[in-house]
Chains A and B, each alone.
Chain A
Amino acid sequence: MRDISAEVPGGGDYHPPCPDQVLENVLENVLQFLTSRRDRNAASLVCKSWYRAEALTRSELFIGNCYAVTARRVTERFCRVNSVVLKGRPRFADFSLMPPNWGAHFTPWLTAFGAAYHWLEKIYLKRMSITDDDLAQISLSFPSFKELTLVCCDGFGTSGLAILASKSRQLRVLDLIEDEVNDDDVDWISCFPENGTCLESLSFDCVEWPINFGALERLVARSPNLKKLRLNQFVTLGQLYQLIVRAPQLTHLGTGAFSPPEIWAQGSEEPDYEAAFSACRSLVCLSGFREVVPDYLPAIYPVCGKLISLNFSYANINAEELKSVICHCNKLQTLWVLDTVRDEGLEAVATTCKDLIELRVFPIDASEDSEGFVSEVGLTAIAEGCRKLQSILYFCQRMTNAAVVAMSKNCPDLVVFRLCIMGRHRPDYLTNEPMDEGFGAIVMNCAKLTRLAVSGLLTDKAFSYIGRYGKLVRTLSVAFAGDSDSALKYVLEGCSNLQKLEIRDSPFGDSALRDGLHHYYNMRFLWMSSCRVTLQGCREIAQTLPQMVVEVFTSESTSVKDEDEYVDTLYMYRSLERSRNDAPAYVRIL
């Protein structure tokens, strides 16, 4: 094996290039233009020479499961990385289905990256735990650090943010998205460099405590490159006004509370909000509205005509209030709303937003027996009006097969279909039939579908459709569905591109589990909680597939003696390594 260090510029002795070396140099020059990681993975498999060249030229690292590979293996293979994406916990952890302290710690990765990637510029973490010390270490280890994006992360707080803000002087992006941020009473907003910042994007809408507004105002004033600003709910409308008049160049704005402060000084006039928004000629994305007072919505009318993305998912507004805004938004591509807008509001969306690509309708009352303000009527309207729809997430209390079939026929470009009928086991409320035919139509008619979430009353038949037609499905979410093992078997045998399968509270057991043995190594993970999988069944899988890590969570802290007992949760993923050594007591790795 050739010593790789000789190939690193500036490292090792000079060797006159042999023909192989020349080829590799050429390869490197070519491969550096390959950006897609799938292309790169393919290139690296051609031969050893290509493998090496690819490893030397890969600058963006994507690790979909932090436990699939160790930091050491990664840093040994790739030596010139400047951007890292790292994902940890599986998605069902967001819904309290995973006990605390399960893992996904960033610290060991950071240690390895600190040693290997001195010029690291970007870190993107999703569902990982990162500490304040880690944030401090990022500043120490990476002098060119520019972008930090944390999505659904925890473990850190305002003290860590303060250190990062003050020490990473080239920071362009600090995006905190749906994180749990500890508050240590530290005024981190004041910690950014005094004479000016490089900030282009600052998002802190998930921070659940007030920030120092004066400091924020001064920060915005000295951040000439700021394009994206997402405020938290403690920023009032009046304060928002003061910010956007200083930053009319913004393209993305999270508006905070969007309600005026409670007390106005006597005799003072309200600011001209509409004028302020008018001045923001580049605004294409609006969000926030955390405590919206609808009377003030007209302020955003001037920007509606240019809006590409509107997030009203925290805005408790009714159909009329939505209509007054939406009627101007004819370029809208992404819309998130609360179901308070009702079917009528969705009909208005269908009328105006002909270019809509993504729609999410969230419930204001997320419980099984809530009233449910949207139904099959809204879904049908969207299907008929928004033919370019590619992605939908829809929470409702009642639905019909007919509406779902309509969507499958009218929206052939659907890539993501996630329907959540909140009452468990609910059939088509008009015909009383299971929802099999609706979901069947989706997989049959939407040839590009890669992500599917099912709900309502579903028999094994629905899953036979999914297995038969869902050939491109990569992510499947199942809850309270199916009659027997056959359902899961159909999926495991039929969905050849399945990568992520998350199942809860469904009657699938060991026999079905065995049916996926041929496929598990092609998947990122399998999650099954509150199903009928026994310890024995899991053990069999672990023994048959040594390259899978099989984690079992039980409710007892001591070992489960009965092999026939159902496990609470099975979480299984492929890995190049032996099982991890940081698992808490309730996790058994078989």
Chain B
Amino acid sequence: MVNHFPGFETFAMDFKETELTLGPPGEFRVSGRKSGKKRGFPEMLDLNLSGPNGRRNDSGAQLEQEASSSPKSPAAKEQLVGWPPLRASRKNAMRSGGSNYVKVAVDGAPYLRKVDLQMYISYEQLLKALEDMFCYFTIRNYFMEPMNGYEYVPTYEDKDGDWMMVGDVPWKIFVESCKRIRLMKGSEAAGLEPRTPPQNAVMEAAEEDSG
């Protein structure tokens, strides 16, 4: 399950629970705090403010435009970990607007996971979340990179039962039509051609989303 518990970023991210061990170990995410410094309480709060010091990914590129962990909430709002003290399942159940969970399967992994598509506003966010979830894999970022050098390709099953590449259609259409997601091994995905020329559909979507 995708969790947006900001507190997890302060600890070594260790997804052993998915028991996937192919590929290099995932990088640990370290909060912006320095070590060796006495800290006051406010530091517990500022883990995920999207701003110049927002979360960095491994390559150091800043993700400030992503409003990293809470894409739907106002960027300036502080997210306190675990307060008020309510179990996540209860919090999620109360969320208005419902949810749009789809299962995510990764070839070779013993378990399915699930993501709530309503938590994201772009392909980029979704792929980042999937990467976090299965951090031993590098998920091909369909927009940015060519086919080589990546092991897994994100695909999805749409309402008609067809398997498509993630990124084929504008984001909003994807959210409405996606029934489940499968991260396919690169070799198998070769047979899946995008329906529309990737450059146009996807670049439009990317531009729309990163504004």
A461 contacts partner chain B, Cβ-Cβ < 8 Å: no
C-alpha gap A395/B90 in the complex (Å): 14
Residues 471-503 of chain A: 1 if any B CB is under 8 Å from the residue's CB, otherwise 0? Answer: 000000101100000000000000000000000
What residues of chain A lie closer than 8 Å to B15, measured between beta carbons? 100
What residues of chain B lie closer than 8 Å to A364, measured between beta carbons? 94
C-alpha gap A208/B16 in the complex (Å): 22
A413 contacts partner chain B, Cβ-Cβ < 8 Å: no
What residues of chain A lie closer than 8 Å to B60, measured between beta carbons? none
B195 contacts partner chain A, Cβ-Cβ < 8 Å: no
A584 contacts partner chain B, Cβ-Cβ < 8 Å: yes
What residues of chain B lie closer than 8 Å to A184, measured between beta carbons? 110-112
What residues of chain A lie closer than 8 Å to B84, measured between beta carbons? 363, 366-368, 395, 420, 422
Closest Cβ of chain B to A1, distance in Å, is 43
A565 contacts partner chain B, Cβ-Cβ < 8 Å: yes
A42 contacts partner chain B, Cβ-Cβ < 8 Å: no
B10 and A101 form a contact (CB under 8 A): no
Known: A94-B85, A96-B81, A505-B44. 13 other contacts (CB 8 A): A95-B81, A95-B82, A96-B5, A99-B12, A101-B14, A178-B87, A314-B90, A553-B11, A555-B31, A564-B38, A566-B38, A585-B14, A586-B12
A314 and B17 form a contact (CB under 8 A): no
Task: Mark B residues whose CB is within 8 Å of A.
Answer: 1, 3, 5, 7-8, 10-12, 14-17, 28, 30-31, 33, 35-39, 41, 44, 80-91, 93-94, 101, 103, 110-114
What residues of chain A lie closer than 8 Å to B5, measured between beta carbons? 96
B111 and A366 form a contact (CB under 8 A): no
What residues of chain A lie closer than 8 Å to B85, measured between beta carbons? 94-95, 420, 477, 479
What residues of chain B lie closer than 8 Å to A556, measured between beta carbons? 12, 30, 35
B11 and A555 form a contact (CB under 8 A): yes
C-alpha gap A530/B90 in the complex (Å): 24
Interface centre among B16, B90, B103 (most CB of A within 10 A): B90
> With A290-B93, A586-B11 known to touch, is A185 a contact of B112 (CB < 8 Å)?
yes
C-alpha gap A365/B101 in the complex (Å): 21
A157 contacts partner chain B, Cβ-Cβ < 8 Å: yes
C-alpha gap A504/B7 in the complex (Å): 13
28 contacts between A and B (CB under 8 A): A95-B85, A95-B86, A96-B8, A96-B81, A99-B14, A100-B15, A155-B17, A157-B111, A183-B114, A290-B93, A314-B94, A316-B94, A338-B94, A366-B84, A368-B84, A422-B83, A477-B85, A479-B83, A530-B41, A530-B44, A553-B11, A555-B30, A555-B33, A556-B35, A560-B36, A561-B35, A568-B10, A586-B11
Closest Cβ of chain B to A541, distance in Å, is 19
A107 contacts partner chain B, Cβ-Cβ < 8 Å: no
C-alpha gap A314/B93 in the complex (Å): 8
What residues of chain B lie closer than 8 Å to A424, measured between beta carbons? 83
Residue ID in chain A nearest B9 by CB atoms: A555
Closest Cβ of chain A to B73, distance in Å, is 9
C-alpha gap A185/B16 in the complex (Å): 22
